[in-house]
Amino acid sequence: MANDMDVEDITRVAVLGAGNMGHGIAEVAALAGYDVTLRDIEEDIVREGYEDIEWSVHKLDDKDRLEEDPETVLKRIMPLVDMETAVEDADVVIEAVPEVMDIKTEVYEALEAHAPDGAIFATNTSALSITDLSEVTERPTQFCGMHFFNPPVRMQLVEVISGAHTGEETIETIEALAESFEKTPVRVRKDSPGFVVNRVLTPLLNEACWAVHEGDADIATVDSTSKYGVGLPMGTFELADRVGNDVAYHVLEYLHAELGEAYEPCPLLSQKVEAEQFGEKTGEGWYDHD
Ligand code: CAA
């Protein structure tokens, strides 16, 4: 199947998954003027995602970062649970569901049944293989990675990743879409584990855990050194709480399996995940966020 869609043809973007990344991506698309559907499996999850967008859009307005009325932006977003309604008119579908292959496979099967033939599918996966995901669908040439960073509304970069089957037109359209979102796309040349950002970032988060685990420093000291020595905008543990300890752990597990021992998740991180202390989204992580 050849993709002949230009970015000018795109009016409706469907985002699947209303968690941290999904609702942030939906917000970015709405801010850029697109009609957006935001879909998740339960009413409560979609409502919470929409409420987070409401908070963020009003915060942007308070900070004079919004060029139009917040309500105008919010009206472009339709939160819902029904897959058919979410995707039947979509030009581009951005998938941001949990990083579990079985969940993603199930979502792509349902999506394929209802999406228009010409629609492009883009996945926000943090690490999983774009080629493997594309092969779950019937349109591997119209499939690529479109990886945003948390919080999408504030982070400039988008990694655009080709799988083995991705068509050049698909990549060009998604790069142009990222630019229309006022983001800076970078093309990742190989569908390699963790792409570029997570291959670099998650070992940093992991190493911070090892330093504490082995008694070299406490969490506050590591965070101070990250900010005042390395110049990061947040401490490493603050960032892990922002990204989600579960997300960092899943990426590391995948890198460990694919790339070897250097990526073995630190037991301290595994314990956080077992305790479901994922960070900001659960109210508790390395820090208390209540
Ligand atoms: N929407 C609107 N406003 C937001 C917001 C959002 N989503 N998130 C934060 N803000 C607000 C805050 O509430 C705060 O408001 P107040 O001052 O009223 O409290 C304000 O923004 C902070 O803004 P500043 O410009 O003063 O702060 P900053 O310049 O420090 O920027 C930041 C904040 C952009 C989040 C910055 O700290 C940063 O870049 N942190 C690093 C984030 C990062 O590295 N993300 C990538 C993680 S990797 C990943 O996501 C990928 C993966 O696959 C794991």
Where a domain ends, among 188, 217, 240?
A: 188
Do 87 and 22 belong together in one domain?
Answer: yes
User: Which pLDDT score, from 0 to 100, does residue 4 have?
Assistant: 73
* Residues carrying an active site annotation: 126, 147, 159, 198
pTM of structure: 0.95
Query: What pLDDT is attached to residue 290?
Result: 86
Classify 98 as helix, strand or coil.
coil
Mutate to test the pocket of ligand 1, among 20, 95, 154 (most ligand atoms within 8 A of CB): 154
Whole domain around residue 142: which residue ranges? 7-188
Q: Tell me, yes or no, whether 94 and 132 share the same domain.
A: yes
List Cβ neighbours of 37 (8 Å cut-off, separation of 6 or more): 12, 13, 14, 15, 77, 78, 79, 80, 85, 86, 87, 90
- Co-location of 107 and 35 in the same domain: yes
Residue 289 lies in a domain: no
Is the same domain home to 59 and 91? yes
Number of domains in the chain: 2
- Of the three residues 154, 188, 222, the one that is the final residue of a domain is 188
Statement to judge: residues 60 and 169 lie in one domain:
yes
Ligand 1 atom closest to the CA of 126, numbered from 1? 53
How far, in Å, are 8, 107, 109, 199 from residue 114 at the CA level? 23, 11, 9, 34
- Residue 121 belongs to some domain of the structure: yes
Q: Output DSSP code: residue 251.
A: H
Last residue of a domain, one of 171, 188, 205: 188
pLDDT at 127: 85
Per-residue CA distances from 241 to 40, 196, 257, 278, 282 (Å): 23, 21, 24, 7, 9
Residues of the chain with pLDDT under 70: 1-3
Q: Find out whether the beta carbon of 243 lies less than 6 Å from any atom of ligand 1.
A: yes
| Whole-number pLDDT of residue 81 | 98
Q: What's 18's domain CATH number?
A: 3.40.50.720
At 33-85, the pLDDT tens digits run 999 999 999 999 999 999 999 999 999 999 999 999 999 999 999 999 999 99
Using one digit for the tens of pLDDT, what is the confidence trace for 217-232?
Answer: 999 999 999 999 999 9
Residue nearest to atom 13 of ligand 1 (CA): 59
